[in-house]
A = this chain, B = another copy of it.
Amino acid sequence: MSHRPRIQHCPACGHPVTYRIPPEDNRERATCTGCGTIHYENPLNVVGTVPAWEDQVLLCRRNIEPRYGLWTLPAGFMELDETTADGAARETDEEAGARFEMLGLFAVLNVVRVGQVHLFYRARLLDTTFHPGPETIEARLFHEHEVPWDQLAFRTVRETLLRYFEDRRQGQFGLHCADIS
């Protein structure tokens, strides 16, 4: 989930770019020294789920960098040609190989430092058999008191899980927006 590198060459024609503020703009943009095309760089969405079975939550142990070996909710970069919910479902299928029903949007977390917005949906697991893909060492269910809080891969996973268990105790799930420093 690392940030996109800055542009060195024009994706349209291949000439070097220079960073300057275009007319009627107020930010430096990659501007082609050949064809003049201006290239914009914007935040990316990471989409995932909180897959639940009764009072347990499914976590996946990462088989890839970054954060190899640490635990995460199933999540990854949103792709073109899918909705945020489609992407969250796709990642849950790819990383956990779980059968589930998608529920509502639960968390929208801004991670400005890396130029990302993380969107987590709740999901209801339909059974407890998982077939994790190659990005996952192991997928298993955790009760709240079993969650490996010091072995979580991402701050957004921690913040989402904390809010999830809190809402579960209250008996009502809300939408949670937060900024992760």
A residues near B (Cβ < 8 Å) are 4-5, 7-16, 24, 27, 39-45, 77-85, 104-105, 108, 110, 112, 115, 117, 119, 134, 175, 177, 179
Contacts and interface: CB of A to CB of B under 8 A. Distances in A.
A45 B177 CA distance: 16
Contacts of A134: 24
Nearest to A176: B105
> How many chain copies?
2
Contact of A78 (B12, B13, B42, B175): B42
Question: Which 8 interchain pairs have the tightest Cβ spacing?
Answer: A9-B14, A83-B110, A14-B14, A7-B11, A80-B115, A175-B175, A11-B11, A42-B44
Contacts of A84: 108, 110, 117
A117 B177 CA distance: 16
